[in-house]
Structure 1
Amino acid sequence: MKVAVVTGASSGIGQSAAIEIARRGTGVILTYGGNPRGGRETAAAIRKAGGTAVALPLDLGETGTFPAFRDAVAAALRDTWQRDTFDYLVNNAGFARTSLIEDTTEETFDGLMRVLLKGPYFLTQRLLPLMADGGAVVNTSSSSAAVTTGVEPGYSAYASAKGGLDVLTRYMAKEFSPRGIRVNAVSPGSTRTRIGDDAFTRFPEVVPALAAKTALGRVGEPGDIGEMIAVLVSDESRWVTAQNIVVSGGYGL
């Protein structure tokens, strides 16, 4: 059985990706941060559907914890799947903060960069020796970093970090290619998740306006993105690498 590591899978896109990847017959090591209950629920949902899952804690903003996490992944591989390697890595964990440039503090800026760019960079570095040749990496970026979807005030720091992740995706694809490891990114548009302190629940009035800007007439759901991630890690995408797939329903068209 192939095995995937999916970060930030306690809710939203990560949860959907973990469940969809497992539905296709792949074992999943999923991580959670501040929502351990959600992580356990994701693992339970996978097991209930007949899959295999292990939930592990991970603070993506603290690179000093990565060696211990690497050891926990190795132990899970050995104990649950009798393997020394895994096949797929989904760098999904993250958070969002919005503020105009004139109001953004260094603390906010550094926190976003630490989790959204530095975290995936050094977590991938740490886990790379455990990845099997011929595997795949998917990084969850954002359409806020793409000029084709329009620029909204307040996202300068968040989008800059995601833009850095887009560049990193291409360099990973180049450097990992001798091992046959493909690397791609997905850039969700407006998606109904808990991001931004559960903004969609707190401000439901924004949904119709976002839907009106979207060609397909609605905001995205986590499953829309999770299924694309599952496709990108699978052999169905064996000839796709260094791409950033915008999954937005045609936002801004």
Structure 2
Amino acid sequence: MILPAVIEKEFRMFFRYPLRVISSILVGLVFLLQFVFFGQAVLGGRYSQLLASSTGMGDYPTYALIGYVLWWVSVSPMEAYVWGVRRELQRGTFEMNILSPARILELLSGLAVSWLLMDSALMGIVFLIGALIFDIPLTFTIILKSIPIILASLLAFLGFGFIFAGLVMLLKNIGPFAQIFEFGMLFFSGVFFPLSVMPKWLVSFSKLFPLTHAASAVRAIFVGKTYAEIQGEIVWLLFLIPLYWMIGYLIFKWAEKITRVVGYGGY
């Protein structure tokens, strides 16, 4: 089967170099710590009453850790489509894969799932280290209740990522655009600060991102809320999943049709 083969290949390539794994974890930790300590300096301490009144969670390290880890994992499918496809174009192997009996959607899905699994493992380590550093209490119930929310968000981003896969085939190098979008989500999804401080029109716009609802829902679970109390966030996620997949698939098929005519052209 194509999907397991692609996942195995990506795993072998990534974990072949242990220093790369260690580097990814260290980069994740450094990026996290600088934002957490900066936030605490601005808030005047670890706990913020203003943050608690606007989000329901006043402990800033917990607030930032949840948003940051979810953001990193959420952009993983887009990273796979942008840099993974670009890598295959650079090596001259992309056209060979296209000409093989395997369907291109299977190849790209395997690429995205493998990167998602790898980043999930790495960010799981970062999350546990962050929880130890900041003494954040974790229970099996909290983790278990958070998993469906996280999976729903990632499923939406897997579909949305096909937009970037199509653009890469057409334009070859869209890395700068993808990075603008990825870091824009840090701003629009309230990863490091509450959305309540933003203009109302931006708050409305932020609802189009699954990360906005996933981060809000997981934070609510961490403070003891039930699924019934976060029903609005769940409904939004369930709405965005088919929407993202439909838009992503249509744009990808459009880009694929054009690319098959003009040629993939390597890189």
Q: TM-score, normalised by structure 1?
A: 0.30
Structure of higher RCO (CA pairs closer than 8 Å, 6+ residues apart): 2
Higher helix share: 2
Structure number with greater Rg is 2
Per the normalisation by structure 2, the TM-score is 0.29
